Chains A and B, each alone.
Chain A
Amino acid sequence: MGILEVKDVNKRFGGLKALSEVNLSVVENTVHAIIGPNGAGKSTLLNCLVGKLIPDTGSVMFDGQSVLGRKPFEINQMGISRVFQTPEIFGDLTVMENMMIPLFAKRDGVFRLHAIESVESERALRERAEQMLEDVNMLDKRHMHSASMSRGDKRRLEMAMCLVQEPRLLLLDEPTAGMARADTNNTIDLLKQIKASRDITMCIIEHDMHVVFSLADRITVLAQGTPLVEDVPEKIKGHPKVQEAYLGEHA
């Protein structure tokens, strides 16, 4: 049984059936990609996993526990982190402060009033933040105002913020959307390096086939809200149904 089990999930927005009978099983310590043309329901599915949307029917289990009905912050505390399509970081804060917030969240839970302690005194947490920044090659930028960084750096910071919490499942929503080829390749290398250095399960939603085929262990193809096929990348490439639904339009 996988670490993430999605069973018979349906989601309707008015007359539009966004997801119908979606089944998905993500095996622990693998990279699972979800691909599909625009409007296939990829983002809806992801939003059902993180608590932003609640499916009409079906179940979503993470590590044997249901995530349905839990708030996004509770789901994060269970061990699921999410990277957004456009990097969501704390723009008014420095890079280092951006890193400290997930560390405090991991250590203290949803809320703790530590109004009189000094951030400076949290030496152990700072060291972990610095270590993580070094892993993503951003240590030299730690005093920078994060809003003034390039998009690629913001993306790397966001990933570092997610990873420093040591999540068991990392969800990535089009991590290379809008990036130049060189930045895309950097991101692929970074993700490969992350995967190689720790036990982590990743679930990637992606448009860019280059990214998907360089990273994924398994691929699910979604079209019109239903999974068409699920298989290893080699088989997906030549699959006639996929060619028809998706690759055919582009290739």
Chain B
Amino acid sequence: MFGLGKKDLTLFLIVAVMALFAPFILNPFPTDSGMAQFNAGYPDLMQRFVIFGILAIGFNILFGLTGYLSFGHAAFLGVGSYAAVWMFKLLSMNVIPAILLSMIVSGLFAVVIGYVSLRRSGIYFSILTLAFAQMSYNLAYSVLTPITNGETGLQITLDDPRILGVSATADGGIPVTNLFGLEMRSFETLNIGPWAFQFSVGYYVAAIIMLISFYVAIRIFRSPFGMMLRAIKSNQNRLYYTGLNARPYTLAAFVISGMYAGLAGGLLACMDPLAGAERMQWTASGEVVLMTILGGAGTLIGPVLGAGFIKYFENIFSKINDQVVHAWVSFLPDGLENFVVAIIHPFVGKGWHLTLGLMFMLIVIFLPGGLVEGGQRISRRLRRKPAEDDAKSASTEPAE
């Protein structure tokens, strides 16, 4: 069905079910319980899960298949956001033209950056893309201020033309982003007992676009084009002597990947019509790399998992402050309680980066294939296959 093999179809359906039922899945704790702060089922965060999922899926098409590590993908995210906000300013608050323009603009941007950067491979390619991204970041802050509005960030205002829409709503407010009238920010709350589930329009728009992107990514992975990209990663020399030029293939992969990032950037702007230069900073580029490697580079589901994992940490783990930790260990005698809190303190709250860094190190060292490899090992253990089979297949999987 849908031109997918049985395995891929199962995977796609699992992701589809997870995405569509995310408001339930991510809200396992009743709102009045102490665990409620670990609920991730609020629209803002769920949107971020799927949008960064799109970004990571796109990044994986480049890095996972060809092995070219781009360190400047945030530039496309930023360019996509700016393009989308400009569309809101000039045309209308409908998200469709904004998303289309963000993909087109970031695609063109990727052609230029890719054409130059892909002349080199390995570390030189990474450095070139990093240089381009930093250049874009600094330009957005300085000379491109007329387009990017510099440090303030690009926002929609009451005196924007919006040819196909209205400059201001009837009551004088700034219009909100919508899909043919459906406002992105609107949501319904469903109360079942002590649970409150929120269904937001913005989330479902983003989730459906994520599912389409995921579907396209599966098709690319299984296509002759995807096979060529893996061949480039495997042995470029052989490819040249087989009558193929690697450059157009890598450029195509780079542009597709850039368009995915632009789409993600556009969607970010759709959910919150604001674009700032900090979206292009190198830390944002690094985050995509982390997501992909953490989840499992070169696998279909890995990047989505990695994106969810990192965004969960960023938004939930960072909210555990000392008071919360105190409450957890309050059963201990006073002196010991303070001691335990002092030990945990650097790892939670503002120190969540430390925990994330440690987890990243552990995963890269013990599970080079990322979370996906972890899942595979667990399922293999459960099926009780012989140990030597386990070792054999682990060694044949390429490590990233």
Contacts and interface: CB of A to CB of B under 8 A. Distances in A.
Partners in one complex: yes
Interface of A: 50, 71-73, 76-77, 81-82, 84, 88-93, 97, 100-102, 104-106, 109-111, 113-120, 122, 145, 147-148, 161, 165
Given A73-B243, A76-B241, A114 B225 contact: yes
Interface in B229-287: 230-231, 233-235, 237-245, 248-249, 252, 256
B353 interface: no
B396 interface: yes
Interface in B100-153: none
Contacts of A117: 223-224
Interface of B: 3, 5, 216, 219-220, 222-228, 230-231, 233-235, 237-245, 248-249, 252, 256, 396, 398
B222 A119 contact: yes
Given A76-B241, A111-B249, A90 B219 contact: no
Nearest to A121: B3
Contacts of B240: 71-73, 76
A77 B189 CA distance: 62
Contacts of A73: 239-245
Contacts, number: 108
Secondary structure of the B contact surface, majority rule: helix
A148 to B, nearest CB: 6
Contacts of B222: 118-120
Contacts of B219: 115-116, 118
A92 B228 contact: no
Contact of B241 (A81, A91, A106, A109): A81
Contact of A90 (B216, B230, B249): B230
Contact of B244 (A81, A111, A113, A118): A111
Nearest to A125: B224
A104 B228 contact: yes
A93 B230 contact: yes
Contacts of B5: 120
Contact of B224 (A89, A102, A119, A165): A119
Given A73-B242, A90-B239, 6 more contacts: A73-B241, A89-B238, A90-B234, A111-B248, A115-B223, A161-B238
27 contacts: A72-B241, A73-B240, A76-B243, A77-B243, A88-B238, A89-B238, A90-B231, A92-B233, A93-B230, A93-B234, A97-B230, A97-B231, A100-B224, A102-B243, A104-B227, A111-B244, A111-B245, A115-B223, A115-B252, A116-B216, A116-B219, A116-B220, A118-B3, A119-B223, A147-B396, A161-B242, A165-B242
Contacts of B244: 73, 101, 104-105, 110-111
Given A100-B224, A118-B222, A147-B396, A105 B242 contact: yes
Nearest to A83: B241
Contact of A102 (B3, B235, B242, B249): B242
Contacts of B233: 92
Contacts of B239: 73, 90, 101
Contacts of A113: 225, 252
B116 to A, nearest CB: 19
Nearest to A148: B396
Contacts of B224: 100, 104, 114, 117, 119, 122
Contacts of B227: 93, 97, 100-101, 104, 119
Given A119-B224, A145-B396, A110 B234 contact: no
A115 B238 contact: no
A111 to B, nearest CB: 4
B273 to A, nearest CB: 32
Contacts of A105: 242-244
A87 B5 CA distance: 32
A109 B222 CA distance: 20
A156 B3 CA distance: 33
A147 B235 CA distance: 11
Nearest to A105: B243
A198 B182 CA distance: 67
A115 B242 contact: no
A92 B241 contact: no
Nearest to B251: A111
Contacts of B245: 71, 73, 110-111
A102 B238 CA distance: 10
Contacts of A88: 235, 237-238, 241
Nearest to B219: A116
A99 to B, nearest CB: 11
Nearest to B226: A115
Contact of A116 (B223, B230, B235): B223
Contact of B225 (A115, A122, A145): A115
Given A77-B243, A145-B396, A118 B248 contact: no
A91 B237 CA distance: 12
Contacts of A106: 243
B235 A89 contact: yes
A77 B233 CA distance: 22
B202 to A, nearest CB: 29
A110 B244 CA distance: 5
A114 B249 CA distance: 10
B396 to A, nearest CB: 5
